[in-house]
Structures are given as structure tokens and as C-alpha cells.
Amino acid sequence: MRGRSFTLKVCYRTSQQIRRAADRLLPTVLRDSDGLEDERRGIISVFEGPRPEVRPFATVEAETAHVHNTLAGWLGEGIAPQEIGVFVRTEALVPRARAVLAGLAGADAVTTGAMSLAKGLEVRAVVVMACDEGILPLDERVEDAADEAELDDIYETERRPLYVACTRAREHLLLTGKTPVSEYLAVFFRNIL
């Protein structure tokens, strides 16, 4: 499908706090495959919510424990398991995400997978795990860059899966990683801390 008549400026899916933080990942003007530019300024969300939480950890085990406890808290607050998503950058990291579900009631109903599978989903609470340096952006993609222009393109396209995963959350967003964490999380630190 080609062309659009206008860009929607009202967001009904994500809280103002999550949308504002995630929007810092992308440039204010996006260019589509047809070369058309889309202005992203002026978008608002219709409801407020808690600020996204960003937590770096010294070890994967510490990250797992914190995410597990966060999920248990959300379940205790009445968020249903099917209203929670846990996302990681690649399929190879999915076992790391699934490890946090051990012992949780309804864990089989929690959506768990790679960020690329998050598109189109809407849930109340999201955890984006394994936001480690070398994973966001993926080292192998950065190393394959032939020149500066291609490197810039890789950095831009590597932000998009993170943006999509973050904006699946309606109310709660937690981003975690093992230190050193991805440089992309600096956007959230600057906005939150």
C-alpha cells in the first residue's frame, strides 16, 4: 500500500510517559520507502501512567531476579498473565526471558519472544530484557558496516525494534540489561532519572 492522507497525532495505546520516552529513540522526521517524510512532533497520548523504569544489573542473575519480582508484583496487582509481554532483541535470547517466568502463576500465558514479534501486540505491561551493550545494536550488524552511511543506517534500524517493543506497553514499561548496557538506554535515563 502506498501513500497516506495524514498522520494520526493522538495515541490511544500507550501512556504519555511511555510514549514520550520511547519517542526519543527515533528522529522527529521519518522517511518511508517512497521517500515521503512523516513529522512525528505533536503526538499526544490520551492518558497518563507511571514512568518507565530502566534498571542495569551487574549480572544476568540479578536481572532475572528483579524481573521475576516485578512480574510477580504486576500479577499481584491484578494484571492478567496474558496482559504482560517480555521481549528480547533476538530469538537466541528468548531462554533468558523465559527464565524469569519460573514459578509464576499463569506464566504460560505471558507473551515472551523476540522484539520483532511484538509488532501489533497491545498489553498492559512490558519488560524489555537483555538491553546489553553488543545486543542493542547487534555487534554483528555494526561490524558488517562497509562505510559511515551504512553504519548510520544500521544504528537507525536497530532502534526500531526497541521502539516497537516499548510501545506495546499500555501502562507499565521496564527495561533491563547487564552492565554495560546499550547506549540506547541513555535516552531513557535522560528522560527518567
Q: Are 184 and 131 in contact (CB under 8 A)?
A: yes
Q: Are 23 and 178 in contact (CB under 8 A)?
A: no
Could you give all domains of the chain from N- to C-terminal order, each with its CATH number?
A: 49-192 (3.40.50.300)
pLDDT tens per residue across span 68-105: 999 999 999 999 999 999 999 999 999 999 999 999 99
From residue 178, alpha-carbon distances to 14, 57, 94, 129, 156 in Å are 26, 5, 15, 9, 22
Per-residue pLDDT tens digits of the chain, which is 193 residues long: 455 545 567 667 788 898 888 888 877 655 555 666 666 566 777 788 999 999 999 999 999 999 999 999 999 999 999 999 999 999 999 999 999 999 999 999 999 999 999 999 999 999 999 999 999 999 888 888 888 888 888 888 889 999 999 999 999 999 999 999 999 998 776 544 3
